[in-house]
Amino acid sequence: MKFKVSVDRDMCVACGIAVSLCPEVFVLGDDNGKNRITDKYSQKLSENTSIGVVSEELHECVKQASEACPAQAISIEKINE
């Protein structure tokens, strides 16, 4: 099972919580300092959005980051394969 992870970079306040909770998946971008999906999992990156796909092994880590995000800028969606 895989999960689509989306970061709304417009909403992101660049607090670093997601990066500290789940550094395998999240990093603060060199472009605007906002949270984005790491290159390993990234599928789409723009100034406003970062979208990636992660495996089930990383779901709990991503979920914790999503729930801890003060701006609620991270969403997770199950992908039916």
Domain boundaries, the chain: 2-79
- Does the domain spanning 2-79 belong to CATH 2.40.160.60? no
Distance CA(43)–CA(3), nearest Å, equals: 12
Residue-level pLDDT at 3: 98
Distance CA(34)–CA(78), nearest Å, equals: 24
CA distances from 3 to 14, 32, 33 (A): 23, 25, 24
Reported as a single tens digit per residue, the pLDDT across 59-76 is 999 999 999 999 999 999
pLDDT < 70 regions, the chain: none
Q: Which two tokens stand for residue 43?
A: 């599928």
Residue-level pLDDT at 75: 98
Residue-level pLDDT at 10: 98
Residue-level pLDDT at 81: 73
Is the model's pTM score more than 0.85?
yes
